[in-house]
Protein backbone atom coordinates (compact mmCIF):
# COMPACT_ATOMS: atom_id res chain seq x y z
CA UNK A 1 0.00 0.00 0.00
CA UNK A 2 1.43 3.42 -0.94
CA UNK A 3 1.40 6.42 1.36
CA UNK A 4 -1.18 8.01 -0.87
CA UNK A 5 -3.67 5.18 -0.39
CA UNK A 6 -3.20 5.26 3.36
CA UNK A 7 -3.87 8.99 3.56
CA UNK A 8 -7.30 9.71 4.99
CA UNK A 9 -8.84 12.90 6.30
CA UNK A 10 -11.01 13.07 9.39
CA UNK A 11 -14.48 11.76 8.47
CA UNK A 12 -13.60 12.37 4.80
CA UNK A 13 -13.43 16.13 5.25
CA UNK A 14 -11.88 17.93 2.24
CA UNK A 15 -8.12 17.56 2.33
CA UNK A 16 -5.55 20.31 2.43
CA UNK A 17 -7.89 23.19 3.17
CA UNK A 18 -9.62 22.56 -0.14
CA UNK A 19 -6.53 23.48 -2.19
CA UNK A 20 -6.27 20.17 -4.02
CA UNK A 21 -6.30 16.42 -3.63
CA UNK A 22 -3.37 14.57 -2.09
CA UNK A 23 -2.44 12.93 -5.41
CA UNK A 24 -1.80 16.40 -6.83
CA UNK A 25 0.02 17.66 -3.75
CA UNK A 26 2.66 14.94 -3.79
CA UNK A 27 3.89 15.99 -7.23
CA UNK A 28 7.16 17.88 -7.04
CA UNK A 29 7.55 19.31 -10.55
CA UNK A 30 7.52 22.95 -9.50
CA UNK A 31 10.07 25.37 -8.13
CA UNK A 32 10.33 28.84 -6.75
CA UNK A 33 12.56 29.76 -9.67
CA UNK A 34 9.96 28.68 -12.18
CA UNK A 35 7.26 30.59 -10.34
CA UNK A 36 9.30 33.81 -10.26
CA UNK A 37 10.36 33.45 -13.91
CA UNK A 38 6.83 33.04 -15.19
CA UNK A 39 5.49 35.85 -13.02
CA UNK A 40 8.22 38.22 -14.18
CA UNK A 41 7.44 37.54 -17.83
CA UNK A 42 3.73 38.18 -17.26
CA UNK A 43 4.66 41.28 -15.27
CA UNK A 44 6.71 42.67 -18.12
CA UNK A 45 3.98 42.13 -20.70
CA UNK A 46 1.13 43.51 -18.59
CA UNK A 47 3.20 46.53 -17.63
CA UNK A 48 3.91 47.24 -21.27
CA UNK A 49 0.22 46.78 -22.19
CA UNK A 50 -0.67 49.21 -19.40
CA UNK A 51 1.86 51.76 -20.62
CA UNK A 52 0.72 51.36 -24.24
CA UNK A 53 -2.96 51.82 -23.39
CA UNK A 54 -2.20 54.91 -21.32
CA UNK A 55 -0.10 56.45 -24.10
CA UNK A 56 -2.97 56.07 -26.58
CA UNK A 57 -5.60 57.85 -24.49
CA UNK A 58 -4.98 61.46 -25.61
CA UNK A 59 -4.67 60.65 -29.32
CA UNK A 60 -7.62 58.24 -29.47
CA UNK A 61 -10.58 60.28 -30.70
CA UNK A 62 -13.36 57.78 -29.94
CA UNK A 63 -14.95 58.41 -26.55
CA UNK A 64 -15.83 54.74 -25.93
CA UNK A 65 -12.21 53.68 -26.62
CA UNK A 66 -10.76 56.43 -24.43
CA UNK A 67 -12.81 55.18 -21.49
CA UNK A 68 -12.16 51.51 -22.34
CA UNK A 69 -8.41 52.09 -22.44
CA UNK A 70 -8.64 53.91 -19.10
CA UNK A 71 -10.46 50.95 -17.57
CA UNK A 72 -8.23 48.26 -19.02
CA UNK A 73 -5.03 50.16 -18.22
CA UNK A 74 -6.21 50.28 -14.63
CA UNK A 75 -6.96 46.53 -14.53
CA UNK A 76 -3.52 45.78 -16.01
CA UNK A 77 -1.95 48.04 -13.36
CA UNK A 78 -3.71 46.13 -10.57
CA UNK A 79 -2.37 42.87 -12.00
CA UNK A 80 1.12 44.27 -12.28
CA UNK A 81 0.91 45.34 -8.65
CA UNK A 82 -0.21 41.94 -7.40
CA UNK A 83 2.57 40.21 -9.34
CA UNK A 84 5.14 42.62 -7.92
CA UNK A 85 4.09 41.97 -4.37
CA UNK A 86 4.10 38.19 -4.92
CA UNK A 87 7.60 38.29 -6.43
CA UNK A 88 8.67 40.42 -3.46
CA UNK A 89 7.48 37.65 -1.14
CA UNK A 90 9.64 35.08 -2.90
CA UNK A 91 12.82 37.03 -3.57
CA UNK A 92 15.11 39.44 -1.74
CA UNK A 93 15.62 42.84 -3.39
CA UNK A 94 16.69 43.83 -5.94
CA UNK A 95 13.80 42.03 -7.60
CA UNK A 96 14.90 42.89 -11.14
CA UNK A 97 11.36 43.79 -12.14
CA UNK A 98 12.61 46.58 -14.38
CA UNK A 99 14.64 44.16 -16.54
CA UNK A 100 13.41 42.93 -19.92
CA UNK A 101 12.98 39.17 -19.40
CA UNK A 102 13.05 38.22 -23.09
CA UNK A 103 13.92 40.20 -26.23
CA UNK A 104 11.12 38.40 -28.10
CA UNK A 105 8.58 39.76 -25.66
CA UNK A 106 10.11 43.19 -26.00
CA UNK A 107 9.84 43.09 -29.80
CA UNK A 108 6.18 42.02 -29.58
CA UNK A 109 5.29 44.86 -27.24
CA UNK A 110 7.35 47.36 -29.25
CA UNK A 111 5.40 46.42 -32.35
CA UNK A 112 2.14 46.91 -30.51
CA UNK A 113 3.16 50.28 -29.11
CA UNK A 114 4.17 51.54 -32.57
CA UNK A 115 1.01 50.33 -34.30
CA UNK A 116 -0.62 53.43 -35.81
CA UNK A 117 -3.91 51.74 -36.75
CA UNK A 118 -6.72 51.51 -34.18
CA UNK A 119 -8.25 48.23 -35.34
CA UNK A 120 -4.87 46.57 -35.65
CA UNK A 121 -3.97 47.80 -32.20
CA UNK A 122 -7.21 46.43 -30.75
CA UNK A 123 -6.64 43.11 -32.54
CA UNK A 124 -3.10 42.90 -31.23
CA UNK A 125 -4.18 43.55 -27.65
CA UNK A 126 -7.47 41.64 -27.45
CA UNK A 127 -6.92 38.81 -29.94
CA UNK A 128 -3.23 38.09 -29.47
CA UNK A 129 -1.38 39.48 -26.45
CA UNK A 130 -4.06 39.35 -23.76
CA UNK A 131 -5.42 35.90 -24.77
CA UNK A 132 -1.81 34.66 -24.56
CA UNK A 133 -1.52 36.26 -21.10
CA UNK A 134 -4.74 34.52 -20.13
CA UNK A 135 -3.38 31.18 -21.34
CA UNK A 136 -0.17 31.80 -19.38
CA UNK A 137 -2.21 32.49 -16.22
CA UNK A 138 -4.20 29.28 -16.75
CA UNK A 139 -0.97 27.30 -17.08
CA UNK A 140 0.42 28.98 -13.99
CA UNK A 141 -2.73 28.14 -12.03
CA UNK A 142 -2.46 24.47 -13.03
CA UNK A 143 1.32 24.08 -12.82
CA UNK A 144 2.16 25.98 -9.63
CA UNK A 145 2.23 23.79 -6.55
CA UNK A 146 -1.22 24.25 -5.00
CA UNK A 147 0.02 24.07 -1.39
CA UNK A 148 3.58 25.38 -1.50
CA UNK A 149 2.80 28.15 -4.00
CA UNK A 150 -0.86 28.76 -3.08
CA UNK A 151 -0.46 32.58 -3.13
CA UNK A 152 0.68 32.41 -6.78
CA UNK A 153 -2.19 30.06 -7.69
CA UNK A 154 -4.57 32.55 -6.14
CA UNK A 155 -3.35 35.55 -8.15
CA UNK A 156 -3.18 33.45 -11.32
CA UNK A 157 -6.88 32.61 -10.83
CA UNK A 158 -7.87 36.21 -10.19
CA UNK A 159 -5.84 37.43 -13.13
CA UNK A 160 -7.39 34.85 -15.44
CA UNK A 161 -10.85 35.95 -14.32
CA UNK A 162 -10.12 39.59 -15.10
CA UNK A 163 -8.22 38.92 -18.31
CA UNK A 164 -11.23 36.96 -19.56
CA UNK A 165 -13.36 40.05 -18.98
CA UNK A 166 -10.80 42.28 -20.70
CA UNK A 167 -10.81 40.09 -23.80
CA UNK A 168 -14.59 39.79 -23.77
CA UNK A 169 -15.10 43.56 -23.70
CA UNK A 170 -12.25 44.44 -26.04
CA UNK A 171 -12.93 41.91 -28.80
CA UNK A 172 -16.37 43.22 -29.93
CA UNK A 173 -14.77 46.64 -30.56
CA UNK A 174 -12.82 45.07 -33.42
CA UNK A 175 -15.97 43.83 -35.16
CA UNK A 176 -17.57 47.26 -34.74
CA UNK A 177 -14.66 49.09 -36.37
CA UNK A 178 -13.08 46.67 -38.85
CA UNK A 179 -13.88 47.39 -42.49
CA UNK A 180 -14.28 44.44 -44.86
CA UNK A 181 -11.45 45.59 -47.11
CA UNK A 182 -9.02 45.56 -44.19
CA UNK A 183 -9.85 42.08 -42.95
CA UNK A 184 -7.04 40.29 -44.81
CA UNK A 185 -4.38 42.75 -43.69
CA UNK A 186 -5.64 42.52 -40.13
CA UNK A 187 -5.33 38.73 -40.15
CA UNK A 188 -1.76 39.01 -41.44
CA UNK A 189 -0.93 41.46 -38.67
CA UNK A 190 -2.35 39.13 -36.00
CA UNK A 191 -0.31 36.23 -37.38
CA UNK A 192 2.73 38.46 -37.39
CA UNK A 193 2.38 39.27 -33.68
CA UNK A 194 1.61 35.65 -32.91
CA UNK A 195 4.83 34.66 -34.70
CA UNK A 196 6.77 37.03 -32.47
CA UNK A 197 5.32 35.40 -29.38
CA UNK A 198 5.91 31.91 -30.75
CA UNK A 199 9.56 32.75 -31.35
CA UNK A 200 10.03 33.16 -27.61
CA UNK A 201 7.84 30.33 -26.38
CA UNK A 202 4.83 32.59 -25.65
CA UNK A 203 4.32 34.98 -22.74
CA UNK A 204 5.53 32.57 -20.07
CA UNK A 205 8.23 30.91 -22.17
CA UNK A 206 6.77 27.45 -21.57
CA UNK A 207 6.08 26.51 -25.20
CA UNK A 208 8.77 25.34 -27.60
CA UNK A 209 10.29 28.45 -29.18
CA UNK A 210 9.64 28.50 -32.94
CA UNK A 211 12.50 29.40 -35.26
CA UNK A 212 12.73 32.79 -36.88
CA UNK A 213 11.84 36.20 -35.50
CA UNK A 214 9.74 38.12 -38.01
CA UNK A 215 10.85 41.43 -39.48
CA UNK A 216 9.18 44.40 -37.78
CA UNK A 217 5.87 45.40 -39.36
CA UNK A 218 6.23 49.08 -38.46
CA UNK A 219 10.00 49.60 -38.26
CA UNK A 220 9.84 53.32 -38.97
CA UNK A 221 6.88 54.27 -36.79
CA UNK A 222 7.39 56.00 -33.47
CA UNK A 223 5.43 54.93 -30.42
CA UNK A 224 1.77 55.85 -30.93
CA UNK A 225 1.51 58.81 -28.57
CA UNK A 226 0.59 62.46 -28.84
CA UNK A 227 -0.02 65.29 -26.40
CA UNK A 228 -2.74 66.98 -28.41
CA UNK A 229 -6.03 65.40 -27.37
CA UNK A 230 -8.28 64.15 -30.15
CA UNK A 231 -12.07 63.83 -29.98
CA UNK A 232 -14.43 62.05 -32.36
CA UNK A 233 -16.96 63.84 -34.58
CA UNK A 234 -19.71 63.66 -31.96
CA UNK A 235 -17.85 66.26 -29.94
CA UNK A 236 -19.33 69.26 -31.68
CA UNK A 237 -17.90 72.70 -31.06
CA UNK A 238 -15.28 71.46 -28.55
CA UNK A 239 -13.59 74.88 -28.29
CA UNK A 240 -16.83 76.39 -27.01
CA UNK A 241 -16.30 78.06 -23.63
CA UNK A 242 -19.46 80.10 -23.85
CA UNK A 243 -21.03 78.70 -20.68
CA UNK A 244 -19.41 78.81 -17.24
CA UNK A 245 -21.09 75.99 -15.28
CA UNK A 246 -19.30 76.88 -12.04
CA UNK A 247 -20.76 80.41 -12.15
CA UNK A 248 -24.25 78.88 -12.37
CA UNK A 249 -23.59 76.20 -9.78
CA UNK A 250 -22.41 78.62 -7.09
CA UNK A 251 -25.10 81.22 -7.71
CA UNK A 252 -27.79 80.99 -5.03
CA UNK A 253 -30.57 82.31 -7.21
CA UNK A 254 -30.77 79.09 -9.23
CA UNK A 255 -32.64 75.90 -8.28
CA UNK A 256 -30.79 72.73 -7.27
CA UNK A 257 -32.69 70.62 -9.84
CA UNK A 258 -31.34 72.85 -12.63
CA UNK A 259 -27.87 72.90 -11.13
CA UNK A 260 -27.65 69.11 -11.51
CA UNK A 261 -27.51 69.67 -15.29
CA UNK A 262 -24.37 71.74 -14.82
CA UNK A 263 -23.01 69.03 -12.51
CA UNK A 264 -23.61 66.38 -15.20
CA UNK A 265 -21.91 68.67 -17.71
CA UNK A 266 -18.91 69.06 -15.41
CA UNK A 267 -18.72 65.31 -14.91
CA UNK A 268 -18.78 64.55 -18.64
CA UNK A 269 -16.21 67.26 -19.34
CA UNK A 270 -13.86 65.42 -16.97
CA UNK A 271 -12.90 63.26 -19.91
CA UNK A 272 -10.10 65.82 -20.21
CA UNK A 273 -8.51 64.62 -16.95
CA UNK A 274 -7.51 61.15 -18.26
CA UNK A 275 -6.05 62.96 -21.28
CA UNK A 276 -3.87 65.10 -19.02
CA UNK A 277 -2.97 62.31 -16.61
CA UNK A 278 -2.00 60.05 -19.52
CA UNK A 279 0.63 62.55 -20.61
CA UNK A 280 1.91 63.04 -17.05
CA UNK A 281 2.39 59.27 -16.76
CA UNK A 282 3.86 58.79 -20.22
CA UNK A 283 6.25 61.74 -20.06
CA UNK A 284 7.49 60.94 -16.55
CA UNK A 285 7.86 57.22 -17.30
CA UNK A 286 10.74 55.73 -15.35
CA UNK A 287 11.40 58.99 -13.51
CA UNK A 288 8.71 57.79 -11.09
CA UNK A 289 8.40 54.40 -9.39
CA UNK A 290 5.70 51.87 -10.20
CA UNK A 291 3.63 52.87 -7.14
CA UNK A 292 3.25 56.34 -8.64
CA UNK A 293 2.00 54.85 -11.91
CA UNK A 294 -0.35 52.52 -10.08
CA UNK A 295 -2.02 55.19 -7.98
CA UNK A 296 -2.17 57.76 -10.74
CA UNK A 297 -3.69 55.15 -13.05
CA UNK A 298 -6.38 54.46 -10.47
CA UNK A 299 -7.13 58.17 -10.41
CA UNK A 300 -7.10 58.35 -14.21
CA UNK A 301 -9.68 55.56 -14.33
CA UNK A 302 -11.80 57.29 -11.68
CA UNK A 303 -11.87 60.43 -13.80
CA UNK A 304 -12.96 58.40 -16.84
CA UNK A 305 -15.76 56.97 -14.66
CA UNK A 306 -16.75 60.49 -13.63
CA UNK A 307 -17.10 61.38 -17.30
CA UNK A 308 -19.29 58.33 -17.79
CA UNK A 309 -21.42 59.36 -14.80
CA UNK A 310 -22.08 62.60 -16.70
CA UNK A 311 -23.01 60.60 -19.79
CA UNK A 312 -25.42 58.47 -17.71
CA UNK A 313 -26.82 61.58 -16.02
CA UNK A 314 -27.74 63.16 -19.34
CA UNK A 315 -29.22 59.88 -20.58
CA UNK A 316 -31.41 59.82 -17.46
CA UNK A 317 -32.67 63.30 -18.39
CA UNK A 318 -33.37 62.18 -21.98
CA UNK A 319 -30.61 64.46 -23.28
CA UNK A 320 -28.31 63.44 -26.12
CA UNK A 321 -24.94 64.59 -24.77
CA UNK A 322 -23.55 65.06 -28.26
CA UNK A 323 -25.83 68.08 -28.65
CA UNK A 324 -23.91 69.86 -25.89
CA UNK A 325 -20.47 71.29 -26.69
CA UNK A 326 -18.11 69.34 -24.41
CA UNK A 327 -15.09 71.58 -24.04
CA UNK A 328 -11.64 70.03 -24.37
CA UNK A 329 -9.40 73.08 -24.25
CA UNK A 330 -8.25 72.43 -20.65
CA UNK A 331 -6.48 69.21 -21.62
CA UNK A 332 -5.41 70.65 -24.96
CA UNK A 333 -3.83 73.71 -23.35
CA UNK A 334 -2.23 71.86 -20.45
CA UNK A 335 -0.85 69.11 -22.67
CA UNK A 336 0.63 71.50 -25.19
CA UNK A 337 1.74 74.39 -22.95
CA UNK A 338 3.11 72.80 -19.75
CA UNK A 339 5.72 70.26 -18.67
CA UNK A 340 4.51 67.05 -16.96
CA UNK A 341 5.47 68.34 -13.50
CA UNK A 342 3.60 71.58 -14.17
CA UNK A 343 0.54 69.66 -15.35
CA UNK A 344 0.68 67.61 -12.18
CA UNK A 345 0.84 70.87 -10.22
CA UNK A 346 -2.31 72.21 -11.87
CA UNK A 347 -4.10 68.91 -11.33
CA UNK A 348 -3.20 68.88 -7.64
CA UNK A 349 -4.14 72.53 -7.17
CA UNK A 350 -7.57 71.96 -8.69
CA UNK A 351 -8.22 68.72 -6.78
CA UNK A 352 -7.13 70.22 -3.49
CA UNK A 353 -9.47 73.13 -4.16
CA UNK A 354 -12.34 70.67 -4.58
CA UNK A 355 -12.04 69.52 -0.99
CA UNK A 356 -13.16 72.59 1.06
CA UNK A 357 -16.78 73.46 1.75
CA UNK A 358 -17.33 74.95 -1.69
CA UNK A 359 -16.17 71.88 -3.63
CA UNK A 360 -17.36 68.30 -3.59
CA UNK A 361 -19.45 68.70 -0.44
CA UNK A 362 -21.34 71.53 -2.09
CA UNK A 363 -21.98 69.50 -5.25
CA UNK A 364 -23.23 66.64 -3.09
CA UNK A 365 -25.54 69.01 -1.17
CA UNK A 366 -26.92 70.41 -4.41
CA UNK A 367 -27.45 66.90 -5.77
CA UNK A 368 -29.18 65.85 -2.53
CA UNK A 369 -31.42 68.93 -2.53
CA UNK A 370 -32.29 68.47 -6.22
CA UNK A 371 -34.41 65.38 -5.54
CA UNK A 372 -32.60 63.54 -8.38
CA UNK A 373 -31.51 60.28 -6.70
CA UNK A 374 -29.04 59.50 -9.47
CA UNK A 375 -27.28 62.84 -9.07
CA UNK A 376 -27.06 62.25 -5.31
CA UNK A 377 -25.65 58.75 -5.82
CA UNK A 378 -23.07 59.94 -8.31
CA UNK A 379 -21.96 62.91 -6.18
CA UNK A 380 -21.68 60.67 -3.15
CA UNK A 381 -19.08 58.55 -4.96
CA UNK A 382 -17.52 61.45 -6.82
CA UNK A 383 -16.78 63.04 -3.44
CA UNK A 384 -15.32 59.81 -2.06
CA UNK A 385 -13.10 59.44 -5.13
CA UNK A 386 -11.94 63.02 -4.75
CA UNK A 387 -10.86 62.37 -1.16
CA UNK A 388 -8.70 59.53 -2.49
CA UNK A 389 -7.27 61.75 -5.23
CA UNK A 390 -6.30 64.45 -2.74
CA UNK A 391 -4.45 61.75 -0.77
CA UNK A 392 -2.70 60.52 -3.91
CA UNK A 393 -1.62 64.09 -4.58
CA UNK A 394 -0.30 64.47 -1.05
CA UNK A 395 1.70 61.27 -1.42
CA UNK A 396 3.14 61.82 -4.88
CA UNK A 397 3.13 65.54 -5.63
CA UNK A 398 3.49 67.54 -2.40
CA UNK A 399 6.72 65.90 -1.13
CA UNK A 400 8.57 67.41 -4.09
CA UNK A 401 8.05 70.86 -2.52
CA UNK A 402 9.04 72.39 0.82
CA UNK A 403 5.49 72.64 2.11
CA UNK A 404 1.87 72.13 1.14
CA UNK A 405 1.59 75.89 0.60
CA UNK A 406 4.50 75.92 -1.78
CA UNK A 407 3.10 72.91 -3.65
CA UNK A 408 -0.26 74.67 -3.98
CA UNK A 409 1.34 77.95 -5.05
CA UNK A 410 3.30 76.17 -7.79
CA UNK A 411 0.13 74.57 -9.15
CA UNK A 412 -1.75 77.88 -9.04
CA UNK A 413 1.10 79.67 -10.79
CA UNK A 414 1.30 77.02 -13.53
CA UNK A 415 -2.43 77.25 -14.10
CA UNK A 416 -2.19 81.05 -14.37
CA UNK A 417 0.46 80.67 -17.08
CA UNK A 418 -1.84 78.61 -19.28
CA UNK A 419 -3.29 80.70 -22.05
CA UNK A 420 -6.98 79.98 -22.37
CA UNK A 421 -6.96 81.36 -25.95
CA UNK A 422 -10.63 82.33 -25.57
CA UNK A 423 -10.44 85.15 -28.10
CA UNK A 424 -7.90 83.41 -30.38
CA UNK A 425 -10.15 80.39 -30.85
CA UNK A 426 -12.99 82.73 -31.78
CA UNK A 427 -10.81 84.76 -34.16
CA UNK A 428 -9.57 81.59 -35.82
CA UNK A 429 -13.17 80.55 -36.45
CA UNK A 430 -12.87 77.47 -34.25
CA UNK A 431 -15.92 78.46 -32.18
CA UNK A 432 -18.47 81.18 -31.68
CA UNK A 433 -18.65 80.44 -27.95
CA UNK A 434 -22.38 80.01 -28.49
CA UNK A 435 -24.42 80.04 -25.28
CA UNK A 436 -25.82 76.49 -25.29
CA UNK A 437 -27.50 76.73 -21.90
CA UNK A 438 -30.97 78.03 -22.94
CA UNK A 439 -31.37 75.19 -25.43
CA UNK A 440 -30.41 72.49 -22.92
CA UNK A 441 -32.52 74.02 -20.18
CA UNK A 442 -35.57 74.34 -22.45
CA UNK A 443 -35.29 70.70 -23.53
CA UNK A 444 -35.03 69.44 -19.98
CA UNK A 445 -38.00 71.58 -18.88
CA UNK A 446 -40.06 70.13 -21.72
CA UNK A 447 -39.09 66.61 -20.66
CA UNK A 448 -39.95 67.44 -17.05
CA UNK A 449 -43.24 69.02 -18.10
CA UNK A 450 -42.47 72.37 -16.49
CA UNK A 451 -42.31 75.92 -17.83
CA UNK A 452 -38.77 77.32 -18.04
CA UNK A 453 -38.03 79.96 -15.43
CA UNK A 454 -37.19 83.18 -17.35
CA UNK A 455 -34.38 84.13 -14.95
CA UNK A 456 -32.74 80.70 -15.21
CA UNK A 457 -33.19 80.70 -18.97
CA UNK A 458 -31.39 84.05 -19.16
CA UNK A 459 -28.18 82.75 -17.52
CA UNK A 460 -25.26 83.85 -19.66
CA UNK A 461 -21.80 83.73 -18.14
CA UNK A 462 -18.78 82.54 -20.05
CA UNK A 463 -15.19 81.58 -19.39
CA UNK A 464 -13.93 84.74 -21.11
CA UNK A 465 -12.98 86.48 -17.86
CA UNK A 466 -13.07 83.68 -15.32
CA UNK A 467 -11.46 80.26 -15.03
CA UNK A 468 -13.16 77.21 -13.52
CA UNK A 469 -12.33 78.09 -9.91
CA UNK A 470 -14.01 81.47 -10.59
CA UNK A 471 -10.66 83.28 -10.29
CA UNK A 472 -10.58 86.29 -12.63
CA UNK A 473 -8.23 85.91 -15.58
Site for Fe ion, rule CB under 5 A: 270, 303, 306, 389
- Rounded to the nearest whole angstrom, what is the least distance from the CB of residue 471 to Fe ion in the complex? 19
Q: Which is nearer to Fe ion, 46 or 334 (CB)?
A: 334
Min separation Cβ 350 and Fe ion, Å? 8
> At its nearest, how many Å lie between Fe ion and the CB of residue 336?
22
Closest distance of CB 382 from Fe ion, Å: 6
Q: How far is the CB of 386 from Fe ion (least distance, A)?
A: 5
Torsion of CA 158, 159, 160, 162, to 10 degrees: 90
Least separation in angstroms between residue 398's CB and Fe ion is 16
Pick between residue 303 and residue 311 the one whose CB is nearest to Fe ion. Answer: 303
Cα(284)–Cα(385) distance, rounded to whole angstroms?
Answer: 24
Q: Select 196 or 301, whichever has its Cβ closest to Fe ion.
A: 301
Q: Which residues contact 380 (CB under 8 A, 6 or more apart)?
A: 364, 367
Determine contact, residues 247/259, Cβ cutoff 8 Å. no
472, β-bridge pairs = 466
Min dist CB 142 to Fe ion, Å, is 41
Looking at the Cβ atoms of 58 and 146, the one nearer to Fe ion is 58
Nearer to Fe ion, 31 or 391 (CB): 391
The rounded distance, in Å, linking the Cα atoms of 267 and 366 is: 14
Instruction: Tell me how crowded residue 125 is: count the other CB atoms within 10 A of its CB.
Output: 27
- Which one, 238 or 393, has the nearer CB to Fe ion? 393
Angle between helices 373-396 and 290-316 (to 10 degrees): 160
Peptide bond into 468 cis (omega under 30): no
Beta carbon of residue 334, minimum distance to Fe ion (angstroms, whole number): 15
Q: Are 66 and 276 in contact (CB under 8 A)?
A: no
Q: Closest CB to Fe ion among 270 and 275? A: 270
Please identify, using beta-carbon distances, which residue of 16 and 294 lies nearer to Fe ion. Answer: 294
Distance of closest approach, residue 392 Cβ to Fe ion, in angstroms: 9
Q: Based on CB atoms, which residue is closest to Fe ion, 293 or 306?
A: 306
Going from the C-alpha of 63 to that of each of 234, 269, 308, 312, 326, the distances in angstroms are: 9, 11, 10, 14, 12
Q: Considering beta carbons, is residue 270 or 412 the nearer one to Fe ion?
A: 270
Q: Quote the least distance from Cβ 62 to Fe ion, whole Å.
A: 21
The smaller minimum CB distance to Fe ion, of residues 143 and 303, is found at 303
Angstrom distance (rounded) from CA 29 to CA 31: 7
Shortest gap between Cβ of 340 and Fe ion (angstroms)?
17
Amino acid sequence: MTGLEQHKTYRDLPALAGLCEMRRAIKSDWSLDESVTRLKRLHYVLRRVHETLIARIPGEPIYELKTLYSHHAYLCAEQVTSIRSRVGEMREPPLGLDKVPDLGLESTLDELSRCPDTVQFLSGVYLVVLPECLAACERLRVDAHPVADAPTVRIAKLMAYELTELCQTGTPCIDCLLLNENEAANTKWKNHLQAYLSSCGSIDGTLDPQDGTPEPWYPNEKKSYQHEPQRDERFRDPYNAGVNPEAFLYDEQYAAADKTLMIYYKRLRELDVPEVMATILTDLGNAEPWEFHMEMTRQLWDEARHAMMGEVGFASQNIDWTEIPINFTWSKNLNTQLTPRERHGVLFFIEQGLMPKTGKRYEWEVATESGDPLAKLFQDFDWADEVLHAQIGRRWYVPRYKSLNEAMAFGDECWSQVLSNWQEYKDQGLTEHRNWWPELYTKVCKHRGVTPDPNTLAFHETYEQKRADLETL
